[in-house]
Amino acid sequence: MTETARRIVLLGPPGGGKGTQAKRLEDKHGWPQLSTGDILRKAIKDGTPLGQRVKATIDAGKLVSDDEIMGVIAERMDQPDCVNGFVLDGVPRTLGQASALESLLAEKGTPLDAVIELRVPDERLLERLTGRFFCAQCNANYHETFHPPQTEGVCDHCGGTEFKRRSDDMPETVKGRLEAYHEQTEPLKPFYESRDLLRVVDGTMDMDDVTAEMERVVGLL
Our answer to whether residue 28 is catalytic in this structure is no
- The whole model's pTM is what? 0.83
> Is the per-residue pLDDT at 113 higher than 60?
yes
Catalytic choice (93, 119, 124, 175) = 93
Cβ count within 10 A of residue 71:
21
Our answer to whether residue 124 is catalytic in this structure is no
Q: What is the mean pLDDT of the chain?
A: 91
Q: Are 117 and 18 in contact (CB under 8 A)?
A: no
Residue 16 assigned ligand-binding role:
yes
Q: How confident is the model at residue 54 (pLDDT cuts 50, 70, 90)?
A: confident
Our answer to whether residue 177 is catalytic in this structure is yes
Q: What is the CATH number of domain 7-211?
A: 3.40.50.300
pLDDT tens per residue, range 178-197: 998 899 888 999 999 999 99
Q: Are 8 and 115 in contact (CB under 8 A)?
A: yes
